[in-house]
């Protein structure tokens, strides 16, 4: 209910009333008489003195009148009527029925003339002041409670900040201590490394001197062997009664041996050996097979580099223009419990083999993903896998420093090749199926003879881990990539280094040939993909697909598209003719380790 209009008016009057203690807004300045109007000692004019006294008297009178005016009430205060006081009281308490009864009876009495409103009187100002004080007291109590609540919150926040300050202070001290300890360790390691530098220099010099001595010794041995062979042939001819026929070829080229390469030297010695064998078979009895045969009779012969790659014809037939967006996600298969580290596509059937960190390899069919076979035997994670050219066998490499060959018909391991000192990163079959190449973390690569079950050559030359290895199809050329930021070409027949490619600024993770064999694609740990011309040994294209690492690269059968397994969970596809790079996503944010094209389709 709303209060009566009389109460509101009285309330407004009380609000605008000026009490005795109020003053005007203008601030008057008091001027002490002794300081401002004191007579100067040197001024003795009587008229001036009288004028000054008169002015002081007038000022005093004005001040007195001002104090009297300000002490009087400018607006008279009208006390509240008795009936308004009761009505306001009942309204405040919510006693509506009592209010109705009071107003009815009050106005009836006034109408009958029992009394008049002015005879009743006014409410004493004490009650009004008490109500105002009570309301002010309640307001102050509310303000006090709110201030207490704010003070408690501020106290809690202050205590929390103190605890956080103490925590961060302790953390800062611990970080400073760790920093100082690391600084001391770094200084100690630098001093330790500095102490090893002269030793390393000495060992390097000794190693180079030893290599020179070894080379000179090999030359002397070859010269001595040639002389002994010539003398034996001469002696054999003398004993047989024929004219002396000395090896003219050996004598004619004796001075040019220092300029011959290892391949020419091997061919020349083989040609001379055939001539000597022909002379022996013509002029003397046949020697024992143990003396004339090979040291390892089971060793395989490397094929001649004259076989044609059947994929070249199909690559030449591919003349359709490239189109982006042709690769789409067809199916997602979960076949391992841990990360998949490698995969290989069967050369004849729709079958894929995957290797994983769970130490297993699994063979499954496309496109439904049914498991065909599971291989168990490695004692550490698998790093690489590759099918035999006929598709009947599989080679795998692992972190247990071994290479295993599996017979798919027997569903088991038939050969374990051991020789690396550290984990093996990759493996590859030769197109003839008799040789396997492996790359290891021990900075070496090895060429294995499957028939004799031994290592034919150890490829030494990289200064850091060898991360990938691959045979050029239908060739004896081997390609390796290393963490020393280089790529290398090797001759598998002799185990000698042929060519080195420089250009990467970070560790090379993988390198592969195109189908024609005239281009190489390599990728490094910062996602940079480079394409190389083998004949020029320089990069012809460089594409930044980073900053996450690029783990593996693969050409399609036409050689015009390169796919890269990226560390950001995608497969980057580079269209060489269009110069466009697109991303295929489907692995989320997990790192993609391997990628391959199916050349059958």
Q: How confident is the model at residue 14 (pLDDT cuts 50, 70, 90)?
A: very low
Res. 30: pLDDT tops 70: no
Res. 264: pLDDT tops 60: no
171-194 residue pLDDT tens: 999 999 999 999 999 999 999 888
**Which residues neighbour 169 within 8 Å (Cβ) at sequence distance 6 or greater?**
none
* CA 576 – CA 556 distance, rounded (Å): 11
Q: How confident is the model at residue 521 (pLDDT cuts 50, 70, 90)?
A: very high
**88 or 189, higher pLDDT:** 189
> Contact at 8 Å (CB) between 10 and 4?
no
Beta carbons within 10 angstroms of residue 397's beta carbon? 30
Rg (CA), the chain: 53
> CA 347 → CA 232, 351, 386, 431, distances in Å?
52, 9, 10, 12
* CA 325 – CA 44 distance, rounded (Å): 115
Phi–psi pair at 243, nearest 5 degrees: -70, 155
* CA 347 – CA 45 distance, rounded (Å): 135
Q: Does the reported pTM lie above 0.75?
A: no
Average pLDDT over residues 319-323: 58
- What six digits make up the tokens of 188? 């100690």
Q: How confident is the model at residue 39 (pLDDT cuts 50, 70, 90)?
A: very low
Residue 82, judged by CB atoms within 10 A of its CB (0-12, 13-18, 19+), counts as middle
**Which residues neighbour 244 within 8 Å (Cβ) at sequence distance 6 or greater?**
234, 237, 238
Q: How confident is the model at residue 82 (pLDDT cuts 50, 70, 90)?
A: confident
Res. 583: pLDDT tops 70: yes
> CA 555 → CA 468, 561, 599, distances in Å?
15, 6, 10
Average pLDDT in the chain: 79
> Contact at 8 Å (CB) between 322 and 577?
yes
DSSP state of 295: S
Residue 256, judged by CB atoms within 10 A of its CB (0-12, 13-18, 19+), counts as exposed
366-380 residue pLDDT tens: 888 888 899 999 999
- What six digits make up the tokens of 27? 């601030």
Res. 53: pLDDT tops 50: yes
| Listed residue (422, 485, 430) closest to 457, CA to CA | 430
3-state SS, residue 531: strand
Parallel, antiparallel or unpaired: strands 508-513 and 382-387: unpaired
| Listed residue (33, 404, 16) closest to 396, CA to CA | 404
Residue 575, judged by CB atoms within 10 A of its CB (0-12, 13-18, 19+), counts as middle
| Listed residue (253, 260, 261) closest to 230, CA to CA | 253
117-159 residue pLDDT tens: 677 777 777 777 787 888 899 999 999 999 999 999 999 999 9
Q: What is the dihedral of CA 52, 56, 62, 65, to 10 degrees?
A: -150
Average pLDDT over residues 500-511: 93
Q: What is the dihedral of CA 251, 253, 257, 263, to 10 degrees?
A: -120
Residue with the two structure tokens 């690492």: 549
Average pLDDT over residues 194-223: 85
């Amino acid at each position: 209910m709303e209060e009566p209009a009389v109460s509101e008016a009285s309330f407004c009057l009380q609000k605008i009333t000026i009490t005795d203690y109020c003053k005007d807004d203008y601030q008057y300045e008091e001027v002490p008489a002794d300081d401002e109007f004191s007579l100067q000692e040197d001024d003795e004019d009587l008229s001036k003195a009288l004028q000054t006294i008169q002015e002081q008297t007038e000022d005093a009178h004005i001040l007195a009148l001002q104090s009297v005016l300000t002490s009087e009430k400018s607006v008279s205060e009208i006390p509240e009527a008795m009936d308004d006081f009761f009505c306001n009281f009942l309204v405040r308490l919510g006693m509506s029925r009592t209010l109705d009864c009071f107003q009815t009876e009050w106005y009836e009495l006034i109408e009958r003339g029992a009394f008049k409103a002015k005879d009743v009187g006014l409410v004493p100002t004490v009650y009004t002041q008490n109500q105002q004080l009570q309301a002010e007291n309640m307001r102050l109590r509310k303000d006090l409670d709110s201030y207490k609540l704010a003070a408690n919150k501020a106290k809690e926040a202050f205590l929390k900040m103190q605890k956080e300050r103490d925590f961060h202070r302790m953390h800062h001290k611990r970080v400073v201590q760790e920093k100082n300890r690391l600084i001391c360790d770094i200084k100690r390691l630098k001093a330790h490394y500095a102490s090893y530098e002269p030793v390393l220099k000495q060992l390097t010099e000794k190693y180079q001197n030893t290599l020179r001595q070894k080379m000179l010794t090999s030359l002397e041995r070859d010269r001595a062997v040639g002389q002994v062979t010539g003398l034996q042939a001469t002696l054999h001819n003398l004993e047989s009664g024929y004219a002396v026929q000395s090896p003219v070829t050996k004598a004619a080229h004796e001075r040019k041996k220092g300029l011959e390469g290892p391949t020419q030297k091997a061919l020349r010695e083989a040609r001379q050996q055939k001539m000597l064998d022909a002379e022996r078979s013509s002029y003397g009895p046949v020697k024992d097979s143990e003396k004339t045969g090979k040291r390892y009779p089971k060793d395989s012969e490397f094929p001649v580099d004259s076989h044609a790659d059947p994929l070249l014809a199909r690559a030449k037939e591919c003349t359709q223009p490239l189109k982006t967006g042709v690769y789409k996600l067809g199916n997602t298969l979960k076949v391992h419990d841990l990360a998949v580290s490698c995969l290989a596509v069967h050369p004849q059937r729709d079958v894929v083999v995957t290797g994983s960190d769970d130490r297993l390899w699994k063979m499954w069919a496309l496109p439904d993903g049914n498991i065909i076979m599971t291989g168990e035997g490695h004692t550490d994670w698998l790093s690489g896998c590759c099918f035999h050219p006929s598709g009947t066998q599989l080679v795998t490499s692992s972190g247990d420093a071994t290479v295993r060959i599996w017979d798919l018909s027997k569903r088991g391991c038939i050969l374990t090749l051991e020789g690396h000192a550290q984990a093996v990163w990759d493996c590859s079959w030769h197109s003839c199926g008799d040789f396997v190449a492996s790359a290891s973390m021990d900075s070496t690569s090895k060429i294995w003879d499957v028939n004799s079950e031994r290592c034919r050559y150890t490829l030494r030359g990289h200064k850091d881990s060898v991360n990938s290895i691959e045979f050029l199809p239908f060739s004896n050329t081997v390609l390796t990539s290393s963490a020393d930021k280089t790529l290398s070409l090797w001759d598998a027949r002799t185990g000698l280094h042929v060519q080195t490619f420089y250009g990467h600024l970070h560790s090379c993770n993988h390198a592969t040939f195109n189908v024609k064999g005239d281009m190489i694609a390599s990728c490094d740990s910062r996602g940079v993909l480079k394409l190389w011309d083998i004949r020029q040994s320089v990069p012809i294209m460089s594409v930044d697909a980073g900053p996450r690492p690029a783990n593996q690269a693969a050409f399609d059968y036409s050689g015009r598209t390169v796919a890269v397994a990226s560390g950001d969970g995608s497969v980057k596809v580079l269209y060489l003719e269009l110069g466009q790079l697109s991303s295929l996503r489907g692995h989320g944010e997990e790192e993609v380790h391997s990628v391959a094209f199916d050349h059958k389709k």
